[in-house]
Structure 1
Amino acid sequence: MAQCTTAQTGRNLVIHPHDRLRREHRVRAQDAEFQRVYKQHRPMVERSSAWMTRGACRVL
């Protein structure tokens, strides 16, 4: 029988409680309408995130 590990104690795989939700969101993100809206709003969101991570200093 093939084993995925030779460790004496085996291997533990821990799945995050929100794993199913993450997978569903990844699938939805491939939708053309989602991509259209995302591309429209992404620049401001990313700029806002950059401002917040730099101590609220606006980088021009």
Structure 2
Amino acid sequence: MDILTILQEEGVYISNTKLSYHLKEMKNTHVIYLVKEGKRNFYLFNKDSLEMIQAWINFILKG
């Protein structure tokens, strides 16, 4: 199942262009990384980046 289908099932409607842009930005900031297998691309979350984001959010919420 592709990302656009999953997002639409969750009620999030975004164009392919916007999705590509945001995936590129998240890849550039190391939040996700790209794994290519043949003709398919898989985007995987970077656990360290997610933990850093979670710590920042927790800090903000406590503030």
TM-score (norm 1): 0.29
Q: Which has the higher contact order (CA 8 A, sep 6+)?
A: 2
Q: Report which of the two has the higher share of strand.
A: 2
Higher Cα radius of gyration = 1
TM-score (norm 2): 0.29
